[in-house]
A and B are shown apart, each in its own frame.
Chain A
């Protein structure tokens, strides 16, 4: 049993340590995704209007300076620039959509494994009488595996290039809804985990309470439609912020749980003054004499 227990603790540590690969924070530079198309639209419309207005008084010739041919050439130039820019913006947007979905998938997957292992570890090591908390943890982990399945990040990223507005709205709606359900489930999980940890024999300590984001995805969808897409800028910001905050809070919670589970290493005694010396310390914190490790 101790070997199995040690293995599971090592596995929990490994899963916690893997979070820097899965819980990727996205910088706010990605806000360019909803802002750039608006800026490009205004720039192109203003350029074409400017070209036409500045050419109007001189129109009359076909190919001379200020004639029809240079005007058409200028408009085609702006149009070509617009097309290239649109594809560049779409590409950046597709990458953002991929990252948003990919980090969601990876975070959910890692957490499912972590919660499952944690439940097993606690059930193996629980010395007290059987309680409903550990089975509840297992059940929540299983529910999460069933309900928080992967969303195909690559497919949505490709779709974004072809049907941008619809894809953006569907992905944003799903991500908002997923986060809400995930946080609700996590809140239940946390209560059960706190109780199970108390039964496990750790110091009575409440886990850090994560910030919950009760966003109404349907309301956001309608607000985006009713504000001619302007609300999308805020919604995109919310998608970046909420997941970033959730990852930060989750990291804090995982660190606390890991500290509670790990057996405390005994401190040694200083041979010179007799004071306590923490494991691995080179010098005594009381008298400063060097210690043999």
Chain B
């Protein structure tokens, strides 16, 4: 029972982080969705423009076909890039990396909200539900947990560095507790990302009839 109690305690400790990140993410997503919907409703001629932009971008990115392990790997590795990709690991730099995370949250919220609205207008709301919900159920919580873990990392490390710089002793139990939380939240997010990538590669295409 001990590990379960620790996991529960860790989630309880970080509930403010999880709640705030979830609220911020969904707020941005909803605002983006509403704005995109309003723009597309008032100027339908933009739909074709967007479709051509999306069509062109597909020629630049080599997306593997559905039902393949390559697609699964691409989605999974892209989603957990903060943990391994040298171009994106710098979000772990204490305090400074948090600003970059804010930008990513904003960008992800805007893009997902915009795409959801765009597909609802062009292909109907059922297509959006079938295309985003199955993997979104796992991916969005994974994304929120990943960001919560990163936020906990920034709080823990900044506090420790500040203590060291100001000549005080580092509160070791607090540091260990913070690092444990980071590990746990990151682990959960990676597992959820793996499930989400599997659903996106092998199950969602079935729903969309691909």
Contact = CB atoms under 8 A, between A and B. Distances in A.
Interface string A208-244: 0000000010110011011111110010000000000
A273 to B, nearest CB: 63
Contacts of A42: 31, 35
Contacts of B17: 219, 223
B190 interface: no
Nearest to A227: B24
Nearest to A223: B20
Interface of A: 42, 46, 49-50, 53-54, 56-57, 216, 218-219, 222-223, 225-231, 234
B158 A218 contact: yes
Contacts of A230: 23-24, 27-28
A225 B153 CA distance: 13
Could you say which of A46, A218, A227, A229 has the most chain B C-beta atoms within 10 Å of its C-beta? Answer: A227
B45 A57 contact: yes
B151 interface: yes
A203 B50 CA distance: 78
Interface of B: 16-17, 20-21, 23-24, 27-28, 31, 35, 39, 42-43, 45-46, 95, 98-99, 101-103, 105-106, 147, 150-151, 154-155, 158-159, 162
B39 A226 contact: no
B158 A53 contact: no
Given A227-B21, A227-B24, A230-B28, A222 B151 contact: yes
For the complex of A and B, list the 4 residue pairs with the smallest distance between their C-beta atoms, beginning with the closest: A227-B24, A225-B98, A228-B106, A228-B102
A222 B35 contact: no
